[in-house]
Structure 1
């Protein structure tokens, strides 16, 4: 079930981001707008677009979030592998699971090290 959902979520996220999908949705909205006079701009006519867009938006939030979560986890795994196999500090592996304050400390550590490296490079030159 999860594998099917992941495939479906990835496909929907991919298709929804294409220009042709935007044009198709724009076309549907134009048809809806043009049909207004034929339905007397009734409440039912308005309810059709409101309900449709609300349902689509509600479902898309979950599908796109699922895709972004998996993409983020994959990127983290790749970065962790680069850290693990390089001369970098292994203590950075898995920091995405820390609190914001703990991540800020790691970021400060990196900025301090970068400034020190820049200063050392200027002195050596």
Structure 2
């Protein structure tokens, strides 16, 4: 699988920044910065160093975190779609549910809440399919 430079860097950065080493490194930088306060007489420049540094890092991390979450979300959606497609009584409407509007999601949520509160019958399997009879999509 060929991935571009940004994808490889983003994967590495997300993995690294979530590590204990990165946390310890960032903590040490803050401790060193705080310890140098008396040397620099707690000047405005001394304060600007930490403010500017943390602002830049935070700004860049927002994009890396979003990229990682987009990738994870897409992978989870594909896995869930596979599970839905493999279950005979599952509703095909659920496959692209992330594309629904907020109102449509609320409607489905209420539907499944009603199903959850309904008494269970032992003799027949309960159909949790809001679309009643759509054709089943099968992956090969």
Q: Sort the TM-score into its range (normalised by shorter chain).
A: 0.7 to 0.9
- In 2, the alpha carbon distance for the partners of 1:48 and 1:122 equals 68
Aligned pair count reads 121
User: What is the aligned-residue RMSD (CA, Å)?
Assistant: 1.9
Q: Answer yes or no: is the 8 Å Cα contact 1:12–1:63 preserved in 2.
A: yes
2:116 is aligned with 1:109: no
For structure 2, which runs of at least 5 residues remain unmatched after alignment? 125-140
Once the two structures are superposed, residues 20-72 of structure 1 have per-residue CA deviations (whole angstroms, 9 ceiling, x without a partner) of 21111111111011111111211111111000000000000110011001100
Q: 2: distance between equivalents of 1:101 and 1:69?
A: 23
**1:78 — aligned with what?**
79
Q: Structure 1-normalised TM-score?
A: 0.88
CA distance in 2, matches of 1:25, 1:111: 45
Q: Where does residue 135 of structure 2 map in the other structure? A: none
Q: Secondary structure, in 3 states, of the residue corresponding to 1:37?
A: coil
Offset of 1:121 from its aligned partner?
Answer: 4.1
Stretch of structure 1 that moved more, 87-96 or 103-112: 103-112
Structure 1 residue 7: deviation in Å? 2.1
CA contact (8 A) 1:6 1:67 kept: no
Quote the offset at 1:3 in angstroms.
2.9
Q: Distance in 2 between matches of 1:42 and 1:25?
A: 22
Once the two structures are TM-superposed, the CA of residue 115 in structure 1 deviates from its matched residue by 2.6
